Each structure stands twice: as C-alpha cells, then as structure tokens.
Amino acid sequence: MSFYVTTPIYYVNAEPHLGHAYTTIAADVMARHHRQRGEEVFFLTGTDEHGEPVADAAHALGVEPQQLADQNAERFKALAPLLGASNDFFIRTTDPQHMAGVQEVLARVRENGYVYEGTYEGWYCPRCADFKADNEIDEGNRCPIHHIELTREQEDNYFFSLASFQERLEQLYRERADFVSPRTRYNEALSFIRSGLRDVPLTRKRLAWGVPVPWDSEHVFYVWFDALLNYYTALGYAPVPQGLPAGTDLTATFWPASYHVIAKDILRFHAVYWPALLMAAELELPEHVFVHGYLLMEGEKMSKSLGNVLDPFAVIERFGADALRFYLLRDVPFGQDGSVSTASFELRYDSELANELGNLASRVIAMVHRYRRGFIPEATPDPVLRSDFGDLREEVSALIDRAELTQALDAIWQRVRRLNRYVEERAPWQLAKDVARAGELDCVLHSLVGGLRIVAILLLPYLPATMATLLGALRATPELAGARWDADGPPPGEPIARIDSLFPKTPEGSPA
C-alpha cells in the first residue's frame, strides 16, 4: 500500500500565515495516520516561485527574481518543522530538475496535439497571475479576490486546448463521485465544466521569469502549469524517504497522488485544468482533491493581502505546535469555512487539552504509581469499556480515508470523555481503600491504561509531540495495530513513567 499526499506549493510573495499552516497541518495528519498503518507514505510541500508577481516584487526591490525567491522560500521551508510537519520533501519550482520535468511533460502535451498558437485578450489580474472570465469579475472590472482594477491585456500565446477535454472531464466526474470533495466543491467544479470549457493560455511572451518553453525561446510557461506539475516532477528527483529501499522509483511507487489538499480559491486549477493536463500528457489522474474552507476572523477571509492576520507563530511559541494543530482541526469542521479566534483557542486549550486529555493522562499514570508502584496490573479489560472502544480504530481510519479529519478527531475525543467518566464512575481511590476489591482496582487501572493507549495512538497524527511523550511513558509503540484492547502491554518488569503536565494551563487572564 502506498499513500501520497500534497499541499499546494505556496507562493513565495506571501508571508507564511495561518492559512498555509492549516493546509500543511491537515496534510500532515493524513500522512502520519497512513504511516501508522504501515503504508509507504510520501508527503510533499514546497514553494511556487515563478510568475509576474515575483518578477514585479523583485524589480521594485532592485534585486533579481531568483534572489527574492531564495529569500522567501526559506520562510516557508522553516514553517514545516515549526508546525511539526513530517513532509518527505520540499520542492521549489526553481529547482532545475523540476524545470526540466515541466519542459518534458509539456513538450509531450504539444506532441500529443493539444497546443497551438493564438492571441489572447482578456481581463488580467497580475496578483492572481491569471486572466478572469467576463462573468467572474467584480463591478468596475475588479479582481474578486484582490479588489484591484484589472487591465485589459492582449498577448500572443501558445494555448492549451482545454475545450477538447470537455467530454472526458464530464465523464470523470460522472464515474468518480469522490474525485473532488466535499460535495459542494465537486458540484462547483462540475458546473464550471458544464458551463463550457474554453482554451487557456499555456505560455507567456512578455515575461522572462518562468520555465522556458523548449520549442520557442521567446516564451515561458504560464506559472499555473509550471506549479501544478510540481506534484509529478518532485517524485522524479526527491530523495527516497527513510524506511524505503535505496533506489526506490518514487514515481512508480507513489504516482498518482492519493490526495491533493487545497483551499477553495484554487479549486478550478486542481479540479479542471489539472486532470485535463494529465490526460493530455497521458499520465494517471490523482485519486482525490480535497478542498478545505477558509479560516475566518470577524467574517473576513484570513489573508496577508487583506490584513487581519492571526499569528500562528505566537500561538506555537506560547502553547506549542500540537495545540495549534488540535485547535484548527477541532474548532472548524475540515472542509467548511469557520471562525477562529484567540478566545476560542484558549477555551479549547484549557477545557479539552489541559482538563480532559492532560489531566486524564496525569491522573491515570499517578494512580498506577500510587496503587501499583507503576506497574500495569494483569487483568481482563472491563467489558463496559470494551464495547465503547471496540471499533474505534476502524472508525477513525475510515473517516481519515475520506479526509474527514474533524469527525475523526471528534470520534477519538468522545472516548477521551468516556475515560474521564469511567474514572468518576469507578472511583479507584475508593476501591483502593478496600483490600477485598483489589481485583476490581486491577481491572479499572488496566482498562484505563488500555483506553489511554488507544486514544494516544489515534491522536498521534494530530498531537505528534505530546502523544509521543505519552506513548513513551506508557511504554507503547505508535503503530495503529496497537490501538486495540487485546494489544500487548509493556514488557513485564517495566513500570510506566511519570510525566510532566502535557498541556500546562494558561496563566489566568492572559490572552493567547
């Protein structure tokens, strides 16, 4: 089994913000979960570095575009480890191997008869690096995203004959109802296709900052085609991930991608242009495109260009990456738009991470030490809990297979709460007072450790640092196979370890 997940490559002109963090975190949860299943996993992220916006910004600063791209790519490269992301490679579209790959694939598209010369005229947004159709521009010929006035541009281009894929794209959507999800995004992409596809420019003539067109040195490829192809070209030169045999052919192992995780503003490129381009190049199509929503603050999309930024770095510095990862996937249903705020972050952190999970872990470990000198007692797990935990692993895997990351997290969290209720119901401190009930206490402690181990394994993709600490203390391994009642306990003679508070409470009255 292999699993290949990608984030979009992030445009180097932007400052890394919460939206980038959100996509990277979500893709990372999927990658980590599939690694726990023992699958071969490749997780790709990176930066998109060509196009007019970078060339213009470099010009304004009086530097070469490459120099600006180098500087800015570093900030995105640094973001991944800060978030606890386990990406296997970081691609830059200025990598010479990527550029050669783009030329190779697009030359094939031309040989296959899908490229022709023409003249394009339309409304162009330099910040989107995209032409806008007449029916998608705002009043006063403004970009609906950037609110700037668009310019009417005419340009000699090579065109990609997107329109010739009308039938095949409609067929794709008919045959594969899960090609794009959630359903609203599938419908949106399909209705765009049904409205009638028109050919799109593949190259640009007036721009020098891009991948040169091999058959015409006056042109570079349009930045979107260059960017989309990163998902394919990366496998041609990325180092082989740890755990796979040296010399593994990554393209043969991982193509086509299992999941492209994207935000809804780039839906059309991934749900329409991308499959058409792959068809034109005779390459296999990805299995799924999952489209997440926007994180909103006071009703506005969070974005650097609009101002109004919640700083993920400040959250990470104070509370750790795990807290940010948990909050974003817990508070906003993955796939929908939702509001985020520092106030709701603090509420989730204190009431759920610190109280419900952190206290549960400390309490269970402390009781095993107090009543059984740190050793997990031999006992049959409590059948009352067994039924609550029986199918949890399968339930979580099925949800993550559909990228329903918030629902999977909620399913796990219901069991965290179940374990807390169980502690209250069974009151081990009462059982401990009565020697005649030692067997009952053994059963309760054994069951609590078993339940804690299962939730810790399943939470590991969401909370990689803290759950690794907890699993280490419980002497448990992270593989998903261990997330079951009858899994082996720790090696005999090894006590479980005491740990510091996993989620220290916030000092009272301090804002996040």
Q: Label residue 5 exposed, middle or buried (CB < 10 Å: 0-12, 13-18, 19+).
A: buried
| Active-site entry in 50, 125, 270, 288 | 125
Assess whether 505 carries a catalytic annotation: no
Closest approach, Cβ 220 to Zn ion, in A, equals: 20
Spatial neighbors of 172 by CB under 8 A, at least 6 apart, are: 179, 275, 285
Closest approach, Cβ 224 to Zn ion, in A, equals: 13
Assess whether 20 carries a catalytic annotation: yes
Q: What are phi and psi of 61, to 5 degrees?
A: -90, -5
Closest approach, Cβ 135 to Zn ion, in A, equals: 16
Among 146, 348, 369, 386, contact with Zn ion (rule: CB under 5 A): 146
Using the minimum distance from each CB to Zn ion, give the nearer residue, 146 or 176: 146
Assess whether 77 carries a catalytic annotation: no
Residue pointed to by tokens 């043969």:
252
Using the minimum distance from each CB to Zn ion, give the nearer residue, 141 or 253: 141
Decide the pairing of beta strands 288-292 and 180-181: parallel
Among 99, 145, 261, 483, contact with Zn ion (rule: CB under 5 A): 145
- SS3 state at 124: strand
| Active-site entry in 33, 50, 98, 128 | 128
| Active-site entry in 146, 205, 264, 369 | 146
| Active-site entry in 17, 98, 219, 292 | 17
Assess whether 33 carries a catalytic annotation: no
- SS3 state at 197: coil
Closest approach, Cβ 153 to Zn ion, in A, equals: 13
Using the minimum distance from each CB to Zn ion, give the nearer residue, 146 or 437: 146
Using the minimum distance from each CB to Zn ion, give the nearer residue, 138 or 395: 138
Sort residue 145 into left (φ over 0), alpha (ψ -120 to 50) or beta: alpha
Q: What are phi and psi of 414, to 5 degrees?
A: -60, -35
Task: Say how many C-beta atoms besides its own lie within 10 A of residue 100's C-beta.
Answer: 15
Paired tokens of 448: 């609590």
Q: What are phi and psi of 200, to 5 degrees?
A: -130, 150
Closest approach, Cβ 144 to Zn ion, in A, equals: 8
Assess whether 304 carries a catalytic annotation: yes
CA 198 to chain CA mean position, Å: 31
Closest approach, Cβ 51 to Zn ion, in A, equals: 12
Total residues in contact with Zn ion, by rule CB under 5 A: 6
Side-chain half-sphere CA neighbours of 376 within 13 A:
26
Q: How many helices (H) and strands (E) does the chain have?
A: 21, 15
Residues 157-176 that bind Zn ion (CB under 5 A): none
- CA distances 126 to 88, 89, 230, Å, are 32, 29, 22
Of 41, 12, 10, the closest CA to residue 400 belongs to 41
Concatenating the DSSP letter of every residue in 29-93 gives HHHHHHHHTT-EEEEEEEEE--SHHHHHHHHHHTS-HHHHHHHHHHHHHHHHHHTT---SEEEET
Concatenating the DSSP letter of every residue in 246-260 gives TT--HHHHHPSPSEE
Assess whether 146 carries a catalytic annotation: yes
Using the minimum distance from each CB to Zn ion, give the nearer residue, 17 or 35: 17
Using the minimum distance from each CB to Zn ion, give the nearer residue, 147 or 505: 147
| Active-site entry in 20, 50, 292, 446 | 20
Of 448, 397, 404, the closest CA to residue 426 belongs to 448
Residues 114-143 that bind Zn ion (CB under 5 A): 125, 127-128, 143
Of 275, 274, 302, 295, the closest CA to residue 339 belongs to 295
Using the minimum distance from each CB to Zn ion, give the nearer residue, 106 or 128: 128
Cite the beta strand spans of 330-461 per DSSP E. Answer: 338-339
Closest approach, Cβ 130 to Zn ion, in A, equals: 7
Using the minimum distance from each CB to Zn ion, give the nearer residue, 267 or 455: 267
Closest approach, Cβ 227 to Zn ion, in A, equals: 16
Using the minimum distance from each CB to Zn ion, give the nearer residue, 124 or 254: 124
Closest approach, Cβ 193 to Zn ion, in A, equals: 22
| Active-site entry in 34, 143, 270, 292 | 143
Assess whether 288 carries a catalytic annotation: no
Q: How far apart are CA 142 and CA 243, in angstroms?
A: 51
Q: Does 77 bind Zn ion (CB under 5 A)?
A: no
User: Under the rule (CB under 5 A), what is the footprint of Zn ion?
Assistant: 125, 127-128, 143, 145-146
Residues designated as active site = 17, 20, 125, 128, 143, 146, 301, 304
